[in-house]
Structures are given as C-alpha cells and as structure tokens.
Amino acid sequence: MKRSLIGIGLAATICITSAFLVAAPSRAEDMFDPLKVVQERGGLLDSQLQVKTVTPPPQVSGARVSTIRSLDISPVSPGSTKRITAASVRVEVARSTSYGFVTGTRDNRNVSYIVIKDASAPSDYQFTIGSSDEGLKLTPDNRGGVTVSDSTGSFVNTILAPWAKDANGDSLRTSYSVSGNVITQHVDTKGAAFPVVADPQYGCGFG
C-alpha cells in the first residue's frame, strides 16, 4: 500500500507551548490540525525536551572530530503552510488532506514532527539534512539511526533511530533509508489507530 514518495525541503526546528493553536478551519475537509495533534501528545511542552549527548564513533587513521552541531532537518510543505510567530517562538504547520508537518524554533532548540491523519497518507517521508552545498554524508548505523559526517569524513552529528506512535500510544514499525544528504523515514501504519505521530531526532541537540 505504498504511495508516492514525498519530497522534502523546509527548515525544521521547533519548540512551542500549548498556548499556540491553529485556528479551527471551517470546512470539514480542513479539520485535520497537525499542531493540535502534537500538542495533545505533549510533544511541544518545554518539559518534554531533553538534551541528548552522543559519543562520536572511534576515529581511525588520524581522522579528526569536527565541532558537533545541529543541522536543519528540512521537510517540504505538503500544500498550505501556516506560520505562527510570537516572542522567540516560530512555528510552521504544513498540511495536506492526509498528513502534515509541525516544525519551528525557540531558544535554539529544535524539534519536528510528522503527523499522519489516516491510511490514505503516504508511507515514506523525505527530509534534507543541512544544505546541498555542505557536502554532508549520511551513513546508517547498527542501531537504526544515521551518522552525519562532513566532507572530510569528520563526525558532525547523529540522527537517532526513528520512532512512530499511533493514537493509542502503540509503537509502529519505522525505519530510515538515505541517499546523499536526503533521509527517508518509512512508517508502516497497517493496523494503526490514527492519527500517527513520528519524529526524526538528532542525537546531539534537538531535532
């Protein structure tokens, strides 16, 4: 039941509070509200954000470790995008009829979410990591995550193994594949209770 692959290309960084809600749309087909779904799961509360540290992999042959840094995870908007800005908070909600993204920034802390409305949504979601001119290399690791290195082969960051949960809180099968600086998150929603939330996340800093 695979559907068309979704291209991605929007800067992804976020932390917002439950006070920021998207206005309720008037048309029945527009009642899908990705931001509200994420808020109801508690994913946007400050208390939910935990700093994660990752030890760079062992270096060989004199290879150096570059400065660990956060990079843009960039999902492309599936249709309309609503931007909310208040104080240090910027939120972008991109929505199609069957899925959406919630991304934003606050105090240099980053998170991003895929919100899947129903079984008509695609199963694959692509994200660009950093910019195309950075020469970044993505390498799958043995834990289900992805190591990000620069053009010299030095460690920059890591993307943790993906997760996806349905409306009942049950974990769903999900995995990554990579091509160049593009990462694709595959989400198996067979038998899931909708909506489903998934989250690509950096190991060093927030994602």
| Structure tokens belonging to residue 17 | 């509070």
Q: Where are the domains of the chain?
A: 28-62+70-123+164-171+186-198
In terms of average pLDDT, the best of 7-16, 170-179, 198-207 is: 170-179
Q: What is the DSSP letter of 58?
A: P
How far lies 122's CA from each of 2, 182, 189, 201, in Å?
7, 17, 10, 20
Q: Does residue 184 surpass a pLDDT of 90?
A: yes
For residue range 1-34, list pLDDT tens digits in order: 444 434 333 333 322 233 333 333 445 445 788 8
Query: pLDDT value at position 12?
Result: 34
Q: Does residue 154 surpass a pLDDT of 80?
A: yes
Mean pLDDT of 164-190: 95
Alpha-helix runs per DSSP H in 98-144: none
Mean pLDDT of 165-188: 94
Encoded amino acid at 89, one letter: V
User: Average model confidence (pLDDT) for the chain?
Assistant: 71
For residue range 43-90, list pLDDT tens digits in order: 554 333 333 333 444 443 444 555 677 777 778 566 666 766 555 455
Closest Cα partner for 64 from 160, 138, 134, 151? 151
Mean pLDDT of 101-113: 68
Percent over 90 (pLDDT), the chain: 29
The answer to which of 41-55, 112-126, 150-164 has the lowest mean pLDDT is: 41-55
Query: pLDDT value at position 34?
Result: 82
Confidence of residue 108 (pLDDT cuts 50, 70, 90): low
For residue range 128-140, list pLDDT tens digits in order: 888 888 899 999 9
Query: Rounded CA gap, 109 and 43, in Å?
Result: 13
